[in-house]
Amino acid sequence: MQRLLFAKIEFWAVLILFFLFALGAIVFGAAVLDGERDGNRFGAMSEVALSVAEIPDTVKTMLDGDHAMMAFQPDRFGDKPAGWTFAPGPRPGGYILLSRYDGDAKRHVVELVSLADAGVKHSWHPDAEALLKDAPRDSKIAEYTNWTKEHYRVIHPYLTETGELITKDHQSYLFALGACSEKLWGRTDELLHHSTESDGDGGYWIPGYYEPSEIKRVSSDFIDDAIVHLGPDGHVIKKQSATRIFLRHGMEYIVFTAGGYQKDPLHLNDIEPVLQDGPYWKKGDLFLSFRHLSMIMLYRPSTDEIIWMQQGPWLAQHDVDILDDHRIAVFNNKAYDRGTGARVHNTNQINVYDFATGEISVPWSRAMEQPHVQTLFEGLFRVMPGNLLMAEEENSGRLLILSPDGSTIAEFINKAADGRAYRMGWSRYMSQTEGDAALAALSNDSCSG
């Protein structure tokens, strides 16, 4: 052993070993990058290299203990500063109703941020344990670990012009909070999830559940998504099973296939109500996003008609918005799982579908690719004045305002003092008029926010 340790090695051999090591490091790095971007240039080697490269982050995250609210890649943004960063030049107007997990306070917060100066004009700190103290806990769907201050998230909050903050978590109940985060009212008769959208008349459209399902001969674990219309105080105006829509229209083949049982075949994650008539839809129609089908549907509840539906090119999408009287846009996660783990094809994308031509375009392609926007699950967007794009990377803990030319106008990174990024909660853009009205109402309260 001693001879082996102290044996003389020729310089040329050391040089060859050095070059081989350097070459191996370059190939390994290229394979990791290829695996992360799903380039498929190195085949299976990319997947192996990516798994090896992720070991230090995985070990570090495990040692940190409770990391449920951390971003999926908490160190992704390296030395980038926490909080807001704006590009030089004029700033966009309006507000962001920022929903995020505060890694320092170990709780979720909602902040009304003015884009003019990045100032927090009001904030809410929901007390999940107080809100849900007497809530029913007999659901098989609800994730009760979320019903604590440390794990409760405010998903897609909605701020009314009277200053009420409408809140919920996934698989949770609906509450209205006042200026001091106090409960104004709450409804614990319907578990709700994902998006919260205004019906234009003071009420809301929110995905919910039928539990237990009314569908015959299904397993007890079957998730029967519901389309729920609620009034201004959260009472249910109408509720119907999304599964039944498919069955009534002869599409059992989509929901229940012979290839294998899926307990969550639809996964309704957005209800976008039509608020005014157009050439291709009517007021009261609903655009529905079914993630597990990669499907967008235009449904007319008043007559139980499926006006239009399409699967793809969006893949595992979240969030559908109406752009004008003939176009919609879809947050395309481009996420897939071929049995080796969930992945994103390079970056997320915004697909625009034109009902007048049937064509699909990607006008913000450069904008999404430049900062490498990538959230595996969740994620949303909003087209702002000036054709700017707000995009939230929920899984990554980042919110961006992007220009169609590919430049980043503003960036918010949800980092804590530990340097790690934490998850978001479906933030919302508010116009200057909407934000000003809400602030005026909130200013009448003695609470400082």
Tally of helices (H runs) and strands (E runs) in the chain: 9, 27
State yes or no: pLDDT of 60 exceeds 50: no
One domain for residues 110 and 27: no
State yes or no: pLDDT of 64 exceeds 80: no
Q: Which of 364, 352, 349 is nearest to 406 (CA)?
A: 364
Lowest mean pLDDT across 14-18, 83-87, 252-256, 431-435: 14-18
State yes or no: pLDDT of 425 exceeds 70: yes
Count of the separate structural domains present in the chain: 2
**What phi and psi values does residue 296 have, to the nearest 5 degrees?**
-115, 135
- Averaged pLDDT for residues 44-71: 59
- Averaged pLDDT for residues 46-75: 64
CA 15, CA 257: separation in Å to the nearest integer?
Answer: 60
Tell me what the pLDDT averaged over the chain comes to: 89
pLDDT of residue 4: 45
Domain CATH for 410: 2.120.10.30
State yes or no: pLDDT of 167 exceeds 50: yes
One domain for residues 26 and 173: no
State yes or no: pLDDT of 230 exceeds 60: yes
- The answer to the question of residue 67 being in a domain is no
Give the model confidence (pLDDT) of 143-154 as tens digits: 677 789 999 999
One domain for residues 47 and 87: no
One domain for residues 43 and 97: no
- The answer to the question of residue 447 being in a domain is no
Give yes or no for a cis peptide into 313 (omega within 30° of 0): yes
Question: Residue 19: which domain range?
Answer: 9-53
- The answer to the question of residue 66 being in a domain is no
State yes or no: pLDDT of 237 exceeds 90: yes
- The answer to the question of residue 265 being in a domain is yes
Q: Which of 301, 326, 330 is nearest to 313 (CA)?
A: 330
Question: pLDDT: is 258 or 190 the higher one?
Answer: 190
293: exposed, middle or buried (C-beta count within 10 Å: 0-12, 13-18, 19+)? buried
State yes or no: pLDDT of 390 exceeds 80: yes
One domain for residues 258 and 403: yes
pLDDT of residue 226: 97
One domain for residues 19 and 105: no
DSSP 8-state secondary structure symbol assigned to residue 213: -
Lowest mean pLDDT across 133-137, 172-176, 300-304: 133-137
- Averaged pLDDT for residues 19-34: 63
One domain for residues 150 and 31: no
State yes or no: pLDDT of 138 exceeds 90: no
Give the model confidence (pLDDT) of 359-384 as tens digits: 999 999 999 999 999 999 999 999 99
Residue type, 46: S
One domain for residues 24 and 173: no
Q: What percent of the chain is predicted at pLDDT more than 70?
A: 85
State yes or no: pLDDT of 53 exceeds 70: no
Q: What percent of the chain is predicted at pLDDT more than 90?
A: 78
Strand partners, 119: 114
State yes or no: pLDDT of 2 exceeds 90: no
Q: Which of 440, 420, 323, 401 is nearest to 98 (CA)?
A: 401
CA 193, CA 74: separation in Å to the nearest integer?
Answer: 25
- The answer to the question of residue 117 being in a domain is yes
pLDDT of residue 39: 57
Whole-model pTM: value is: 0.85
pLDDT of residue 214: 87
One domain for residues 35 and 162: no
One domain for residues 137 and 18: no
One domain for residues 384 and 312: yes
- Cβ neighbors of 77 (< 8 A, separation 6 or more) are 396, 398, 413, 415, 421
pLDDT of residue 258: 76
State yes or no: pLDDT of 419 exceeds 50: yes
One domain for residues 268 and 367: yes
pLDDT of residue 257: 86
In the numeric block, which tokens belong to residue 187?
């409804």
